[in-house]
Amino acid sequence: MTEPPHPDAPEPDPEPAEADDPEGPRRRARRERAERRAAEARAKAIEEARREAKRKVLGAPAVELRPPRRGAVPGLKVMLWTIGLAALATGLGLILYFTPLMSARDIVVVGTGEVTREEVVATSQVTEGTPLLQINTDVVAQRLAAIRRVASVRVQREYPSTLRISIVERIPIAVKDFPDGPHLYDRDGVDFATGPAPLTLPYLDVDNPGPNDLPTRAALAVLTALRPEVAGQVARVAAPSVASITLTLTDGRVVVWGTEDRTQEKADKLAALLTQPGQTYDVSSPDLPTVK
């Protein structure tokens, strides 16, 4: 049983009043919230330390915790801008491709001589007013290269409304007679024209003239190596083989050339040698040229 209090015992102190609390309820609440947050952070840190220790024991790679990446929205904006610009460029390209806004209203042809502008335009198959982007310049160049007198061609679009065609014609350096008339040959051995030849062209005396015929190529290489004042005196170049090339001059003198080796050196020696009187000039050995 509980004994009754002694009549002389002191009475216990009463509970302290709320007003006597020096901290106050609001400060105490804030302190308690801060303590709870600190406790939660500590608990998370302890848990993460335990996981890291476990990963080290198991040999697993550490997982780096990264904050949420910033800039996702700006990246999306860049992507949208890129898509918009691409769509705009595509639309503009379609407009230029299908409309006469930038069309070939002027076809300029340069470099022609024997070939006429009308032949070039007709062969190109380009119609004035065709949008420039629809013109395949490579295809047009291939068509024009089929003209026999054309050595090379370049086709260019010049915006906003011009197609420029630049032609380089073949230059004849030799002629050979055939039943249908004289055939003209350029420095590459290409038979590019049939008809009257300039009187100054030397006659090409080979069995099978053509760009793939070795004697033809050797004979034409000799003609192109000669100095202009010497080349103008040549009436005939004969090459029954690549080892026996001879030149006949307009006055009847003969030049024994021999092989096509050291062609440029032989051409230089011949220019000086022709100043001496004689009938046969032998430069087949350019180290010891002779005159007879």
How do the residues of the chain divide into helix, strand and coil, expressed in percent and rounded to 5? 40, 20, 40
29-38, 60-69, 262-271: range with lowest mean pLDDT: 60-69
| pLDDT, tens digit, 9 for 90 and up, residues 147-194 | 999 999 999 999 889 999 999 999 999 999 999 999 999 999 999 999
Higher pLDDT, 72 or 171: 171
How far is it, in rounded angstroms, from Cα 206 to Cα 228? 23
Q: Tell me the average pLDDT of the chain.
A: 84
pLDDT band at 41 (very low <50, low <70, confident <90, very high): confident
Provide mean pLDDT across the span 70-86. 69
H/E element holding 23?
none
- What does the pLDDT read at residue 17? 44
Query: Using 50, 70 and 90 to split pLDDT, how confident is the model at 248?
Result: very high
| Structural domains of the chain, ranges and CATH numbers in brackets | 101-167 (3.10.20.310), 170-289 (3.40.50.11690)
Mean pLDDT of 254-273: 95
Pick the range with the lowest mean pLDDT from 113-122, 175-184, 195-204, 246-255.
195-204
- Section 187-216 average pLDDT: 94
User: Of 49-63, 116-130, 137-151, which range is least confident?
Assistant: 49-63
Residue 32 has pLDDT above 90, yes or no: no
Note the pLDDT of residue 178. 95
Residue 73: predicted pLDDT: 61
Using a pLDDT cut of 70, give the percent of the chain over it: 81
Name which of 1-10, 20-29, 40-49, 102-111 the model is least confident about: 1-10
What is the structure's pLDDT at 23?
A: 63
pLDDT of residue 7: 47
Q: Taking 70 as the threshold, does the pLDDT of residue 123 lie above it? A: yes
CA angle 176, 178, 179 (to 5 degrees): 160
Computed on alpha carbons and rounded to an integer, the radius of gyration of the chain in Å comes to 49
Contacts 24+ apart (CB under 8 A), 86-95: 93/133
Does 53 have pLDDT greater than 50? yes
Q: Is the pLDDT of residue 66 over 50?
A: yes
pLDDT score for 292: 93
Res. 282 pLDDT band, cuts 50 70 90: very high
Does residue 39 register a pLDDT over 90? no
> Who has greater pLDDT, 66 or 40?
40
Other CB atoms within 10 Å distance of the CB of residue 131: 17
With pLDDT > 90 as the criterion, what percentage of the chain qualifies?
Answer: 59
In angstroms, the CA 264 to CA 286 distance is: 10
